């Protein structure tokens, strides 16, 4: 199997726009900020973030970002906001876009929107080995006096070693809705999978597309086009590529306990969460089934620690905050809901075999799981 190449630097430009003169959005800034946090966590050296950018600022950020790209860099561009197309040209709308119907909108676009092709050319001419474009657009029609009714972005040709991902298929629209109360559908699933170690970005986007399609009952189907010729992993578990030699020597001589790598508060909460999960397992079934990995997709004990840390970040609970039962309960409830949403169909079946003394999961929890 072809291994993922090593890049001198991973860079990203992320733009999220909620506020428009008309048709403002709700979750784009959250999506952008959360992706920035995730990319920083998985080793991106530079992540530029633009929020509610006007056109001048938008173009300045593109110029700045492109100017810093080196021929050995992996680059990623992500946009969350409104996008439009006209005559096979795609445009991203800045926050000060304010079409007033005084002329054809196709003309207004040229001077007031940001051309996707312009962004691609600026980055392409830096000759980086891999470029990833992600367009998470909630799209509307271009209104013209000629009656054009083109929706979404038009399909684009991927330059060499380029991946282009769309939140929905070309010519279709993405909905500005949320399930988790913070992120749009596409961003929610992208954030869930993009930090998976040793996973090809194209495989990750396939998973994201499948989950979004399922979640929206087929209304929104993410799309991608690619000219990548090698496997591209945004994060790897290769320790040698991340640490200098003295630190590597310590890894060669010792086994690292995850408890020593995370804050005590996170560790204790993950142990409490594990105790809750153990109560899902009946006492009267065989030793090989069911296991927790049968009941919860992608379950591992390390995942529980990551989930607790994610909950604290999303709920703005710092390790320096007072350790109160109320805040701990908020974290546990957040983690429980995330786990239940990833539960397999074996969970309600398993719970139905238990007596109330064997499991303290409530009837409401069982119904919630079945309802997924």
**Is residue 101 predicted with pLDDT exceeding 90?**
no
57 or 279, higher pLDDT: 57
351 or 130, higher pLDDT: 130
pLDDT of residue 366: 47
Separation of alpha carbons 281 and 283, rounded Å: 7
pLDDT of residue 74: 95
Separation of alpha carbons 233 and 196, rounded Å: 9
Averaged pLDDT, 282-287: 48
pLDDT digits (tens, 9 = 90+) for 29-56: 999 999 999 999 999 999 999 999 999 9
Quickly list DSSP for 282-343: -SSS-SSSS-HHHHBTT--HHHHHHHHHHHHHHTT--TTS---HHHHHHHHHHHHHHHHHTB
pLDDT of residue 341: 78
pLDDT of residue 283: 53
pLDDT of residue 189: 94
Nearest CA among 37, 4, 6 for reference residue 190: 37
pLDDT of residue 274: 78
**Is residue 301 predicted with pLDDT exceeding 70?**
no
Q: Where does the pLDDT of residue 85 fall: very low under 50, low under 70, confident under 90, or very high at 90 and above?
A: confident
DSSP 157: P
Nearest CA among 120, 132, 143 for reference residue 76: 132
284 or 98, higher pLDDT: 98
**Is residue 6 predicted with pLDDT exceeding 70?**
no
Helix (H) or strand (E) holding 79: strand 73-81
Distance of CA 301 to the CA centre of its chain: 22
- Which residue is listed with tokens 């929706």? 151
Exposed e or buried b per residue across 171-191, where buried means at least 16 C-beta atoms within 10 angstroms of its C-beta: ebbbebebebebbbbbbbbbb
The domains located in the chain, with CATH, are 9-227 (3.40.50.1460), 258-278+292-343 (no CATH)
**Is residue 262 predicted with pLDDT exceeding 80?**
no
Give whole-number Cα distances, 41 to 70, 127, 193, 204, 219, in Å.
Answer: 21, 26, 13, 17, 32
**Is residue 292 predicted with pLDDT exceeding 80?**
no
Rounded to a whole number of angstroms, the distance between the first and last alpha carbons of the chain is 36
pLDDT of residue 320: 77
Provide Rg for the chain, Cα atoms.
23
**Is residue 355 predicted with pLDDT exceeding 60?**
no
pLDDT of residue 347: 66
Separation of alpha carbons 140 and 89, rounded Å: 15
- Mean pLDDT is lowest, of 215-229, 265-279, 338-352, 357-371, for 357-371
* Average pLDDT value over all residues in the chain: 79
| Percentage of residues in the chain having pLDDT higher than 70 | 70
Nearest CA among 49, 32, 45 for reference residue 75: 45
Quickly list DSSP for 158-204: PPTTEEEEESS-TT------BSSSSSBHHHHHHHHHTT-TT-BHHHH
- Which residue is listed with tokens 């995330």? 338
**Is residue 155 predicted with pLDDT exceeding 80?**
no
**Is residue 249 predicted with pLDDT exceeding 70?**
no
pLDDT of residue 87: 78
**Is residue 147 predicted with pLDDT exceeding 60?**
no
pLDDT digits (tens, 9 = 90+) for 201-229: 999 999 999 999 898 888 888 889 999 99
pLDDT of residue 133: 97
pTM: 0.62
Yes or no: say if 200 and 3 are a contact pair by the CB < 8 Å rule: no
């Amino acid at each position: 199997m072809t291994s993922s190449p090593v890049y001198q630097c991973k860079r990203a430009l992320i733009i999220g726009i909620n506020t428009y003169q008309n048709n403002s959005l709700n979750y784009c800034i959250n999506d952008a900020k959360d992706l920035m946090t995730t990319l920083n966590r998985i080793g991106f050296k530079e992540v530029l973030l633009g929020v509610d950018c006007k056109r001048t600022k938008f173009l300045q950020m593109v110029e700045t970002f492109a100017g810093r790209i080196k021929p050995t860099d992996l680059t990623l561009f992500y946009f969350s906001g409104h996008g439009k197309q006209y005559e096979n040209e795609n445009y991203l709308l800045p926050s000060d876009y304010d079409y007033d119907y005084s002329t054809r909108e196709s003309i207004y676009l040229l001077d007031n929107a940001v051309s996707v092709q312009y962004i691609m050319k600026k980055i392409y001419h830096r000759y980086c080995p891999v470029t990833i474009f992600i367009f998470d657009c909630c799209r509307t029609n271009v209104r013209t006096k000629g009656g054009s009714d083109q929706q979404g972005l038009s399909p684009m040709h991927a330059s060499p070693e380029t991946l282009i991902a769309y939140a929905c298929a070309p010519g279709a629209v993405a909905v500005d809705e949320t399930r988790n109360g913070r992120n749009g559908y596409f961003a929610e699933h992208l954030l869930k999978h993009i930090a998976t170690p040793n996973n090809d970005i194209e495989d990750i986007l396939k998973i994201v597309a499948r989950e979004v399609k399922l979640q929206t009952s087929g209304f929104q189907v993410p799309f991608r086009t690619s000219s990548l010729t090698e496997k591209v992993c945004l994060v790897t578990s290769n320790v040698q590529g991340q640490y200098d030699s003295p630190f590597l020597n310590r890894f060669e001589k010792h086994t690292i306990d995850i408890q020593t790598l995370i804050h005590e508060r996170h560790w204790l909460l993950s142990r409490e969460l594990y105790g809750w999960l153990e109560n899902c397992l009946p006492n009267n079934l065989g030793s090989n089934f069911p296991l927790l990995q049968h009941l919860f997709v992608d379950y591992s004990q390390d995942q529980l620690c990551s989930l607790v840390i994610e909950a604290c970040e999303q709920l703005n609970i710092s390790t320096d905050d007072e350790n109160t039962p109320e805040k701990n309960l908020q974290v546990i409830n957040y983690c429980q809901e995330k786990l239940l949403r990833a539960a397999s169909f074996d969970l309600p079946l398993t719970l139905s075999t238990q007596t109330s003394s064997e499991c303290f999961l409530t009837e409401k929890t069982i119904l919630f799981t079945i309802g997924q």
